Chain A
Amino acid sequence: MIKNKPLLECNHVWKAFPNGEGNLSVLEDVHFSLAEGEFFVILGPSGGGKSTLLRVLGGFEPPDKGEVLLDQVPVRQPGRDAIMIFQSFDQLFPWYTLKQNLIYALKKTGAESDPRKAAAEAEIDRSG
């Protein structure tokens, strides 16, 4: 089997958070790489750092040491090239309707006005 070149690389990532009496080390030397289409599961107990790892991978938290590469480019902040799906369910803006939420996201990611509406409508139809 030919291994594809890695799409996502997590290079020796360290992350700690300050807690009362010092630093709570959450990620210690996390190292792996993923190729396109690869299926990867992170398993661990509650409070084990799975979410922190995801937040670092998505660019929401900078790692203390090490780096995350997406397509060979270091991830420094979140962005529309690496949209992340959160665990929380209420990530829609309550001041918009569902359709307005979809249109807003498309607008912010640079889609044109008319296709934007059509795409949002199609998506709502599709999911019912």
Chain B
Amino acid sequence: MKANKNRRLSKPLIRLGWIILLLFLWEFGVKVFKISPLLFPPVESVLQTLWTSFIRGDLGFQALYSFGFILVGLTISAVLAILLILIAFRWPVAGSFIDTVTAIAHPLPGLALLPLLIIWFSAGSGSVLAIVVHSALWPILLNLFSGFNAVPQIYIDAARNLSMCKSDIILSVMFKSALGYFISGLKIGWARAWRALISAEMVFGAIGAKGGIGWYILKQRTFMNTAGLFAGIVIVVVLGILVEDLFFNWLEKVTIRRWGMSAANDKE
């Protein structure tokens, strides 16, 4: 138990160590092989660009804009997914329909829908939001389906023993039992939405007023500002790691891991 705790504490440190090693290899490679800064700028000029871009406010603002966008998109997706799964398990006919729609929509890349979305929502934030929701909704829903199907029969029986009605069982027993699946769905949904958003911003950025981090990266290429391009990529990576390691880690810790329901504990 103690060893386990130590390992968990040192995980961010180990990660930091690897990142420093990567940065060192980067710097070392650029200096030794004398790579043109236009192709691969050294670490210090990327860090400098990061710093000045943040001071100027441009990069920070763009990152915040994209991040806010994804938060809104993910929240909408999560709420929609929960609503759909409740309907699916309350009325089996609706469930079979939702299952089929998920099977159709899940493998469909958001960007494939882009031209259609432009016609529907015009080329603006509406279309970008639609792509984000499309990217996140189906993986979350698919995971919820697996989670609800994997609810141990004994929980449902125990709830029926207490005369709980079907809606109550779905909401307060099945959903909690499937929470681990919901969180994994959120993780997949977040990663897919984040990728889709960056791509969509590269397409839409010129039209939208703000652009976002994807548009920022594309703009740096136009000006051949490779260091700025790398700075944008670094921000995308850092935000990704922060969400994954801090937010989702915390969410799992206060719920499924605390309840002894995480995958590690599932092996019986």
Contact = CB atoms under 8 A, between A and B. Distances in A.
A84 B176 contact: no
Interface residues of A, number: 18
B51 interface: no
Contacts of A77: 160
Contacts of B255: 95
B152 A90 contact: yes
Nearest to B173: A93
Contact of B155 (A80, A83, A93, A109): A93
Contacts of B37: none
A108 B169 CA distance: 11
Contact of A94 (B161, B163, B259): B259
Given A94-B260, A95-B259, A86 B158 contact: yes
A78 interface: yes
Given A93-B176, A94-B260, A80 B154 contact: no
B123 interface: no
Interface in A24-78: 58, 60, 77-78
Interface string B51-90: 0000000000000000000000000000000000000000
A78 B160 contact: yes
B157 interface: yes
A105 interface: yes
9 contacts: A78-B161, A79-B163, A84-B157, A90-B152, A93-B176, A94-B260, A95-B255, A95-B261, A108-B162
